[in-house]
Chain A
Amino acid sequence: DAGITQSPRYKITETGRQVTLMCHQTWSHSYMFWYRQDLGHGLRLIYYSAAADITDKGEVPDGYVVSRSKTENFPLTLESATRSQTSVYFCASAGASSGNTIYFGEGSWLTVV
């Protein structure tokens, strides 16, 4: 089953450019999350959303923007990419049907040059 899909899987962009990472889930989970994973830091929460039109900051939100107009989609936008935003980004979802567990996408590898 597709579950949760991210696109693009790999992206190289230049400093200062706007980049949007897409996330789509088919489970109708109410909660969606964006994490970044860096060596030595583990998974760090960027933003999360409890439902459509409800979003909140996580640990490292600076430089990122999210929106959630539909339950199934949760795009993450880097408004002006910086090299420090080079990372692997994981989208995840959770809901009543997931039994308090969180399901991850396969990740988006972003390199900012």
Chain B
Amino acid sequence: GAGVSQSPRYKVTKRGQDVALRCDPISGHVSLYWYRQALGQGPEFLTYFNYEAQQDKSGLPNDRFSAERPEGSISTLTIQRTEQRDSAMYRCASSLVPGPNTGELFFGEGSRLTVL
């Protein structure tokens, strides 16, 4: 696609529900990153993939968070048993070259998660 696409753009859920956030990177981009961004703050790293392999998941806050990229393209970030503190903007970024820290990152518009 023309850019990194994320869905849903907005998600409101009740505490305890599971949510799945989707990221469709730019076609042909090798690396894919997930970030979480609080209002007024810079993005906070969660995890990243090169192709389908999850290279680093050290930023995932706890075991309720997981991510996959089974075919090396679309990725899903899943949050189980959501809590109010999970409310944030979740951003995906992709890069043409394998990561980390090589090549320009292109960010999506983000998925705004609100947990009631």
**Do the two chains belong together in a single complex?**
no
- Residue ranges of B at the interface with A (Cβ–Cβ < 8 Å): none
